[in-house]
């Protein structure tokens, strides 16, 4: 995307969002959500993985816009507790989560063999997470995530709002400066539903076959040196510098020319 060739109206919007990004650190999570919803309308959506961060963000988002968009990636290997919370969220907010899914468990095994996540984890993530994510972002100008800086080193410099160069759209991380305690305080004060696995020691929750109890993200892909599951990592070949850039470590607040 080259801002110099954009129509005047869209160029004005990009300039306005760039200015918002430059002052986003001054805004509360609620204020930032309100600002991006005001600017992007139905072309912004929350990426929901049904963890404690999304419990917070769902409440904030629907307080601003009851008809807001929310999407989820269904790998078909999510925990039963995650699917249970999914149903509860839809009932609580009287909405339907937009579902983007990879191949069924049967299709995945027939095409790539059993336990692809063990023998070829990069391919597994590309097929069941990254490809559905690309489809989910296809009609958006901004997505909202639950990234927090204290979750891992690769997320330590994530901005509250930045340009996602890998997918060519804006990315809002309203909880970037929140702690675990901040999330739990918000949830408990409001009596919000949350994933029951958190009460069993799972700080971060993904697929059944690659998630163990643990603090931070140490329970994700615990038997490897992997730090990201694919949704917030650069495309193949980008390396650690690419990870930092996509998460916001060195992203300028304006779209690249």
Task: State pLDDT tens for residues 174-214.
Answer: 999 999 999 999 999 999 999 999 999 998 899 998 888 76
- What SS3 class is residue 69? strand
Residue 253 domain flag = no
Phi and psi, residue 9, nearest 5°: -65, -45
Instruction: Give catalytic residues, as residue numbers.
Output: 229
Residue 255 domain flag = no
Q: Which of 42-51, 108-117, 134-143 has the lowest mean pLDDT?
A: 108-117
Please report the pLDDT score of residue 152 as a whole number: 80
pLDDT at 245 > cutoff 90 = no
Closest CA to 171 of 146, 151, 142, 130: 142
Residue 97 domain flag = yes
Please report the pLDDT score of residue 12 as a whole number: 65
Question: Mean pLDDT score of the chain, rounded to an integer?
Answer: 85
How many structural domains comprise the chain?
1
Percent of the chain with pLDDT over 70: 78
Residue 171 domain flag = yes
pLDDT at 127 > cutoff 90 = yes
Phi and psi, residue 143, nearest 5°: -125, 150
Please report the pLDDT score of residue 237 as a whole number: 31
Residue 101 domain flag = yes
Q: Identify the domain containing residue 46 by its residue range.
A: 3-246
In whole angstroms, give the CA distance from residue 226 to residue 220: 8
- The DSSP bridge partners found for residue 72 are 99
pLDDT at 93 > cutoff 90 = yes
- Which CATH number does the domain housing residue 165 bear? 3.40.50.620
Percent of the chain with pLDDT over 90: 70
Query: Pick the residue with more confidence: 11 or 93?
Result: 93
pLDDT tier at 230, thresholds 50, 70, 90: low
> Contact 53/146 with Cβ under 8 angstroms?
yes
Average pLDDT over residues 99-115: 94
């Amino acid at each position: 995307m080259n801002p110099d060739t954009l129509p005047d109206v869209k160029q004005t919007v990009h300039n306005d969002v760039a200015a918002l990004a430059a002052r986003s650190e001054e805004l509360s999570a609620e204020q930032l959500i309100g600002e991006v919803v005001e600017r992007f309308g139905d072309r912004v959506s929350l990426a929901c993985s049904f963890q404690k961060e999304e419990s917070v963000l769902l409440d904030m988002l629907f307080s601003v816009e009851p008809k807001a968009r929310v999407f989820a990636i269904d790998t078909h290997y999510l925990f039963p507790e995650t699917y249970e919370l999914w149903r509860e969220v839809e009932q609580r907010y009287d909405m339907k989560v937009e579902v983007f899914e990879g191949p069924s468990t049967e299709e995945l095994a027939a095409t790539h063999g059993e336990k692809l996540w063990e023998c070829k984890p990069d391919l597994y993530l590309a097929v069941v997470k990254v490809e559905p994510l690309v489809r989910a972002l296809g009609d958006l100008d901004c997505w909202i995530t639950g990234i927090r800086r204290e979750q891992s080193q690769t997320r330590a410099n994530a901005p509250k709002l930045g340009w996602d160069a890998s997918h060519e759209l804006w990315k809002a991380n309203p909880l970037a400066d929140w702690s675990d305690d901040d999330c739990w305080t918000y949830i408990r004060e409001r009596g919000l539903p949350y994933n029951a696995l958190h009460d069993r020691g799972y700080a971060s929750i993904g697929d059944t076959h690659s998630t163990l109890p643990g603090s931070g993200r140490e329970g994700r892909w615990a038997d490897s040196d992997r730090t990201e599951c694919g949704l917030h990592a650069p495309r193949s070949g980008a390396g650690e510098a690419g990870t930092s850039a996509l998460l916001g470590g060195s992203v300028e607040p304006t779209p690249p020319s």
